[in-house]
Structure 1
Amino acid sequence: MLRFLGKDPQSPNGDSPTLYYDEERDTYVFQGWKVTDPKRLAQMSIPEHETVIEFPRRMMQFFPEVQSGGGASA
């Protein structure tokens, strides 16, 4: 089950980027801006089954580990 953690407080439409925590998989799920710039993508090794998204540094505040000030799990 996905647990909503936060949306970008500076998003002009309040829609994206968004951060979720997947409680079953113990992973984070991001909704963000799709990276399509060929020069940037060429600097990465991206398997066919993966994609790349971008989110602003200010979104780090929503990670539970940052909120608690340590390595605590979500």
Structure 2
Amino acid sequence: MMLRWLAGNGSCKNGACPTLWGTENGDYVVQGYVITDRHRLAELNLPDGESAVVIPAAVLEGYFRAQG
């Protein structure tokens, strides 16, 4: 899967900052902070094989502003 940077902290030096990526299929990959709080995870009721991450609103807002 080829990824292209769409939005995030462009000055991030180590690549470990929340980021929105696009794929060649037109899908999105979100890189963010893993949710580890048991109560939040229970609310999500995730099936096996799925995970959840937190991505700052500014990352998505920056992407949508650039699209507008």
More helix by share: 2
Match of 1:36 in 2: 36
Aligned amino acid, residue 23 of structure 2: D
Gap runs ≥5 in structure 2: none
Q: Where in structure 2 are the equivalents of 1:1-74 lying within 5 Å? A: 1-8=2-9, 15-24=16-25, 26-63=26-63, 65-69=64-68
Aligned length: 66
Identity of aligned residues (%): 35
Structure-2-length-normalised TM-score: 0.76
Q: RMSD over aligned Cα, in angstroms?
A: 2.3
CA shift at 1:14, angstroms? Answer: 6.5
What is the DSSP-based 3-state SS (H/G/I as helix, E as strand, rest coil) of the residue aligned with 2:51? coil
Structure-1-length-normalised TM-score: 0.71
